[in-house]
Amino acid sequence: MANFVLSLHASPSDSDACLSLLNFAKAALSAGHAIDAIFLYQEAIWHASEHFVIAKDEVQLNEQWQSFVDDAKTPLLLCITAAEKRGLDVKNTGPFTVAGLAEFAMSVAKADKWIQFK
């Protein structure tokens, strides 16, 4: 079985990219693969913002993230550089753990595959 690292680059307003990542991750885990980490980079850091409001008739991505992390126990890593560059409060990131690009690079180096969702 393969070990994956996934990265998300799309903001919460692009729910298709996020849902594609979550669906892939769930399918991979169900097939016996491992997801070593999910790294949020570029505009994806807004998934960790408590101020990003999604309309009630749209997919509530914050609930999707919390459900995934509760079930899968996969680390959700938030790029500290991208977050600080955009003024995100890195002390309140919900289910996401602040991490650097070096940590992401080490995870990718150990994984069998890295897949980006944009």
Which band of pLDDT confidence, cut at 50, 70 and 90, is reported for residue 21? very high
| CATH number of this structure's domain 3-51+58-117, picked from the four choices 3.40.1260.10, 3.40.50.720, 3.40.50.12160, 1.10.10.10 | 3.40.1260.10
- The mean per-residue pLDDT over the stretch 12-29 comes to 95
| Identity of residue 61 | L
18 a catalytic residue: no
What pLDDT sits at residue 56?
A: 83
Out of 79, 82, 88, 99, pick the active-site residue.
79
Tens-place pLDDT, residues 32-58: 999 999 999 999 999 999 887 778 888
pLDDT digits (tens, 9 = 90+) for 55-83: 888 888 988 999 998 889 899 999 999 99
Q: CA of 112: how far to CAs of 31, 34, 69, 80, 97, in Å?
A: 15, 10, 21, 24, 22
Q: How high is the pLDDT of residue 106?
A: 97
